[in-house]
Amino acid sequence: MKISLQLALQMAILATVFAAPGRAEDTGAISKRDLEAKLQYCKTCHGLSGQGFRGSSPMPRLAGQQTEYFENQLRAFVERRRENKFMFNVAHVLSPAMITDLATHFRDLNPKPLGGAPRELVPTGKTIYEQGVADANVPPCRSCHGPEAKGNGVFPRLAGQLHDYIARKLVNWSKERGQDPANPDTSAIMEPIAHSLTESQIAPVAAYLSYLE
């Protein structure tokens, strides 16, 4: 079955990621004052409760995010494996201890989703999320992100994420992710999936996820 084969290939990529060297040992403690100052900075773009924000472009929800994924993405910005000029400037000054504390803080937040997507797209999106698109060799999203889209470890939480943010990232996947092929991360798993989904399939999946709590 094509989907099973693709999942096997994806797990092989993931095994390579796990075999990569870890980050340096965290040796410093962060004061409550320093953490709060940094959180206020994060909230400027990502919302008071990490719920995401719609400004000139959609800023992603951080609330409820898996800590391992959160930390991995900040390192990806610093190492230029994920391209975002603004987030590079934010992330490269963070100590390992601060990254861990930020990840823990946002993991424990649980605001209501912002929603806003066309609700008529939700049933189609739910079907794609749960069953995949066999003809396009796209596996069920739930196989990695979980039945409730809350993620697991290196696989991010998608529940409650801004629909326009999800759509933009999937459509432009290779322009931002996987920028260092010699140093792959879990984004390599999503690359063929993002390329195989059409915009008319991405929109309902993003709508479905945006309303999940």
Q: Quickly name the fold that domain 28-210 has.
A: Cytochrome Bc1 Complex; Chain D, domain 2 (1.10.760)
pLDDT by residue for the chain (213 residues), tens only, comes to 444 444 444 444 444 443 443 443 444 689 999 999 999 999 999 999 999 999 889 999 999 999 999 999 999 999 999 999 899 999 999 999 999 999 999 999 999 999 999 999 999 999 999 999 999 999 999 999 999 999 999 999 999 999 999 999 999 999 999 999 888 888 899 999 999 999 999 999 999 999 999
Q: How many Cα neighbours within 13 Å face the side chain of 152? A: 9
| Residue 27: strand, helix, or coil | coil
pTM of the model: 0.86
Q: How far apart are CA 98 and CA 94, in angstroms?
A: 6
